[in-house]
């Protein structure tokens, strides 16, 4: 039998610690300070996906983690590699997604000497991660990585960051210290049960409720609590609304599903369900500004509140809470299921609301107008996708439209958007990560042309790796979302929001990608069919009605 080396170098120990936690794939971009790490990666079982920008390496790790629950890992070099990795870590952390960022760093021995790329990574990353560390010596590598995985997957999941100096990568590590608990490689790694007294109080409140309504955030999907949620909603006859990140908590075809609520993707019909509730049950939801339309729906004091969240800081932050249930969503909903009796609910208003919303949508989706209406794009894309397809939407036109009108058939993470920061240029890279997480299903990224400008470099990555993804570009030559804000909130005083039209299909062709530019609604179905069916990367550039002229489900503009 081959005996294991008794010492490893730091870079080899890092790779072993990743593998020990079940990591199979690392997204990243090379740099001078990363050379020993790359040597170790080269010799390892880990798959390395070379990206064209560290921002996208982090977004890929994020997309991978969102669809698998496993820790997504990204890496980059010192200096610019760290500042470029940061946006993805910030998004993942605020969205409760377990992502580990590793930046290599200048040697410990050259700190403080105006060394090229030197940067205080500890201070830089602290506010955007749940946990971070800068390694000073190789012997700490095993402990630091164990702590990072525990932090990312225990409690509220989040991002972690480790700075790995150049000389630390070459220093020895005792192989006996290199051990890992693989169960920490996936969230939720440690479930926390609710206080039975609080469960009893919540059950009592639900028993007396006339119109209880659930509002589910991303926590339901993260906790894999979809079955418990659906059963409880059925037992109570209660409607289930979701945030954008909560899509996938419940099969949106079912009678209990309301759809997305809030200022981005909510409609008057979904808002009416919230306003009619006498008890709101927030589940894995921070009750933030978008979901609650700046805390107006539900209005404070208009309904009693049960708030289930793994993070004790969340309940009570925005609403006075009658019953805070600090627990894993699956365990909390399971406990409530045991504690409440079945009752008759009335879903007729939910049904009528959904009909009204989708009748309005379908009428616009049939439109033969040019530029093509966003409704038409959503309807055609949704119709052509299999139920298990993964759809990632960027901010701008895609997010409100797909959140409102793309009906998720089934449960689990099949649709997502970067709702913590909503940075443009997320979807393409996140879709790459989602593809690696679930390669057996079709993955689609939908973006505005503003987003395209921020992610186009990764088209080469798609081509090089022959990924069968489809990118859909909603092309309107403007930062439409902001223009819509200038229209409704600033007297149509348009300023510095328009840019020139780009032929995105031609850009994709220059990368060697199969692509189409669509200007006529009648072409859309056929082109999308071909693009989605291809076993190679494809891009469809759709010249669309600009967002400020459209009927977007964004409450500020409707009002």
Contact 393, 402 (CB under 8 A): yes
Q: Which is nearer to ligand TPP, 170 or 382 (CB)?
A: 382
**Residues in binding contact with ligand TPP, number by CB under 6 A:** 18
Q: Which residues, 6+ apart, have CB-to-CB distance to 378 below 8 Å?
A: 361, 365, 401, 402, 405, 406
Task: Write down the least CB distance from residue 290 to ligand TPP, Å.
Answer: 13
- Out of 172, 316, 412, 422, the residue judged to bind ligand TPP by CB under 6 A: 422
At 61, list the tokens: 């790790």
Question: Any bridge partners for residue 102, and if so which?
Answer: 75, 162
Contact segment (CB under 6 A) with ligand TPP among 281-289, 306-314, 408-416, 473-481 equals 473-481
Task: Write down the least CB distance from residue 56 to ligand TPP, Å.
Answer: 13
State yes or no: residue 480 binds ligand TPP (CB under 6 A).
yes
State yes or no: residue 474 binds ligand TPP (CB under 6 A).
yes
Task: Write down the least CB distance from residue 326 to ligand TPP, Å.
Answer: 32
- Out of 15, 125, 547, 554, the residue judged to bind ligand TPP by CB under 6 A: 547
Task: Write down the least CB distance from residue 396 to ligand TPP, Å.
Answer: 2
- Out of 479, 511, 516, 557, the residue judged to bind ligand TPP by CB under 6 A: 479
Q: Which is nearer to ligand TPP, 171 or 455 (CB)?
A: 455
State yes or no: residue 478 binds ligand TPP (CB under 6 A).
yes
Residue 7 carries which DSSP code?
A: E
At 475, list the tokens: 């092309």
- Out of 27, 84, 149, 481, the residue judged to bind ligand TPP by CB under 6 A: 481
State yes or no: residue 417 binds ligand TPP (CB under 6 A).
no
Task: Write down the least CB distance from residue 481 to ligand TPP, Å.
Answer: 3
Contact 20, 43 (CB under 8 A): no
Q: What is the 3-state secondary structure (H, E, C) of 480-499?
A: HHHHHHHHHHCCCCCCCCEC
Q: Which is nearer to ligand TPP, 171 or 544 (CB)?
A: 544
Contact 240, 246 (CB under 8 A): no
Q: What's the CA gap between 496 and 506, in Å, rounded?
A: 25
Contact 483, 498 (CB under 8 A): yes
Task: Write down the least CB distance from residue 462 to ligand TPP, Å.
Answer: 19
What end-to-end distance do the CA atoms of the chain give, in Å? 73
Q: Which residues, 6+ apart, have CB-to-CB distance to 465 below 8 Å?
A: 49
**Strands (DSSP E) found in 389-456:** 390-393, 415-417, 443-448
- Out of 7, 482, 530, 551, the residue judged to bind ligand TPP by CB under 6 A: 482
Contact segment (CB under 6 A) with ligand TPP among 37-45, 61-69, 180-188, 472-480 equals 472-480
State yes or no: residue 293 binds ligand TPP (CB under 6 A).
no
At 375, list the tokens: 């409704």
State yes or no: residue 230 binds ligand TPP (CB under 6 A).
no
Q: What's the CA gap between 326 and 69, in Å, rounded?
A: 21
Q: What distances in angstroms separate CA 295 from CA 268, 286, 320, 386, one per listed residue?
A: 16, 11, 12, 36
Contact segment (CB under 6 A) with ligand TPP among 179-187, 280-288, 442-450, 457-465 equals 442-450
State yes or no: residue 449 binds ligand TPP (CB under 6 A).
yes
Task: Write down the least CB distance from residue 302 to ligand TPP, Å.
Answer: 31
List binders of ligand TPP among 75-104 (CB under 6 A).
none
Q: Which is nearer to ligand TPP, 321 or 378 (CB)?
A: 378
State yes or no: residue 428 binds ligand TPP (CB under 6 A).
no
State yes or no: residue 129 binds ligand TPP (CB under 6 A).
no
Choose among 410, 428, 407, 426: nearest CA to 418. Answer: 426
Q: Which residues, 6+ apart, have CB-to-CB distance to 155 below 8 Å?
A: 190, 192, 310, 311
Task: Write down the least CB distance from residue 200 to ligand TPP, Å.
Answer: 44
Q: Which is nearer to ligand TPP, 282 or 402 (CB)?
A: 402
Contact 141, 13 (CB under 8 A): yes
Contact segment (CB under 6 A) with ligand TPP among 58-66, 332-340, 345-353, 420-428 equals 420-428
State yes or no: residue 451 binds ligand TPP (CB under 6 A).
yes
List binders of ligand TPP among 369-408 (CB under 6 A).
395-397
Task: Write down the least CB distance from residue 505 to ligand TPP, Å.
Answer: 16
Contact segment (CB under 6 A) with ligand TPP among 347-355, 364-372, 477-485, 518-526 equals 477-485
- Interhelix angle 226-236/329-339, rounded to 10 degrees, is 30
Q: Which is nearer to ligand TPP, 130 or 419 (CB)?
A: 419
Contact segment (CB under 6 A) with ligand TPP among 60-68, 215-223, 238-246, 475-483 equals 475-483
User: Can you state the percent helix, strand and coil of the chain, rounding each to 5?
Assistant: 45, 20, 40
State yes or no: residue 458 binds ligand TPP (CB under 6 A).
no
For CA atoms 508, 51, 403, 452, give the dihedral sign. negative
Q: What's the CA gap between 533 and 529, in Å, rounded?
A: 6
Q: Which is nearer to ligand TPP, 144 or 543 (CB)?
A: 543
- Out of 217, 448, 537, 553, the residue judged to bind ligand TPP by CB under 6 A: 448
Q: Which residues, 6+ apart, have CB-to-CB distance to 534 below 8 Å?
A: 468, 470, 514
For CA atoms 464, 65, 229, 314, give the dihedral sign. negative
Binding site for ligand TPP (CB under 6 A): 395-397, 422-424, 448-451, 474, 476, 478-482, 547
């Amino acid at each position: 039998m081959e005996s294991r080396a008794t010492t490893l170098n730091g870079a080899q120990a890092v790779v072993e610690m990743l593998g020990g936690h079940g990591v199979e794939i690392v997204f990243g971009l090379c740099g001078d300070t990363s050379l020993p790490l790359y040597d170790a990666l080269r010799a390892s079982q880990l798959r390395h996906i070379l990206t064209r920008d560290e921002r996208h390496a982090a977004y890929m790790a994020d997309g991978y983690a969102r669809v698998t629950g496993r820790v997504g890992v990204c890496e980059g070099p010192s200096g610019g590699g760290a500042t470029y990795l940061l946006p993805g870590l910030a998004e993942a952390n605020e969205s409760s997604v377990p992502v580990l960022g590793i930046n290599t760093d200048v040697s410990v021995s050259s700190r403080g000497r105006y060394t090229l790329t030197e940067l205080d990574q500890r201070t830089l990353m602290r506010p955007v991660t749940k946990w971070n560390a800068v390694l000073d010596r190789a012997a700490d590598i095993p402990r630091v990585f164990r702590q990072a995985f525990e932090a990312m997957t225990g409690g509220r999941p989040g991002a972690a960051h480790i700075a790995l100096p150049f000389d630390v990568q070459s220093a020895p590590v005792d192989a006996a210290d290199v051990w890992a608990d693989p169960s920490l490689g996936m969230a939720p790694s440690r479930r926390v049960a609710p206080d039975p007294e609080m469960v009893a109080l919540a059950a009592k409140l639900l028993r007396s409720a006339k119109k209880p309504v659930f509002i589910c955030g991303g926590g339901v999907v993260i906790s894999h609590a979809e079955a418990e949620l659906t059963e409880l909603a059925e037992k109570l006859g209660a409607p289930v609304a979701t945030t954008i990140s909560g899509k996938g908590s419940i099969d949106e075809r079912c009678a209990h599903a309301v759809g997305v609520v809030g200022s981005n993707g909510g409609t008057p019909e979904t808002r009416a369900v919230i306003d009619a509730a006498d008890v709101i049950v927030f589940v894995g939801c921070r009750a933030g500004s978008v979901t609650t339309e700046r805390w107006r729906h539900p209005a404070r004091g208009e309904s009693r509140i049960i708030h289930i969240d793994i993070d004790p800081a969340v309940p009570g932050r925005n609403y006075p809470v009658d019953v805070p249930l600090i627990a894993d969503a699956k365990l909390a909903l399971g406990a409530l299921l045991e504690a409440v009796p079945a009752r008759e609910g009335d879903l007729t208003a939910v049904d009528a609301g959904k009909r009204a919303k989708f009748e309005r949508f379908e009428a616009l989706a049939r439109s033969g107008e040019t530029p093509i209406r966003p409704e038409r794009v959503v309807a055609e894309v949704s119709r052509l996708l299999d139920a298990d397809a993964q759809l990632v939407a960027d901010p701008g036109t895609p997010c409100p439209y797909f959140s409102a009108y793309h009906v998720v058939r089934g449960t689990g993470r099949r649709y997502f958007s970067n709702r913590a920061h909503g940075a443009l240029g997320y979807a393409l890279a996140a879709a790459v990560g989602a593809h690696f997480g679930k390669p057996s299903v079709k993955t689609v990224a939908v973006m505005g042309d503003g987003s395209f400008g921020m992610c186009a470099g990764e088209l080469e990555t798609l081509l090089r790796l022959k990924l069968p993804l489809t990118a859909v570009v909603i092309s309107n030559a403007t930062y439409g979302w902001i223009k819509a804000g200038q229209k409704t909130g600033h007297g149509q005083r348009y300023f510095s929001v328009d840019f020139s039209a780009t032929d995105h299909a031609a850009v994709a062709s220059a990368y060697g990608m199969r692509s189409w530019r669509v200007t006529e609604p009648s072409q859309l179905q056929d082109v999308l069919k071909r693009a989605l069916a291809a076993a190679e990367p494809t891009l469809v550039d759709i010249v669309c009605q600009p967002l400020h002229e459209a009927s977007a489900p964004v409450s500020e503009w409707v009002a």
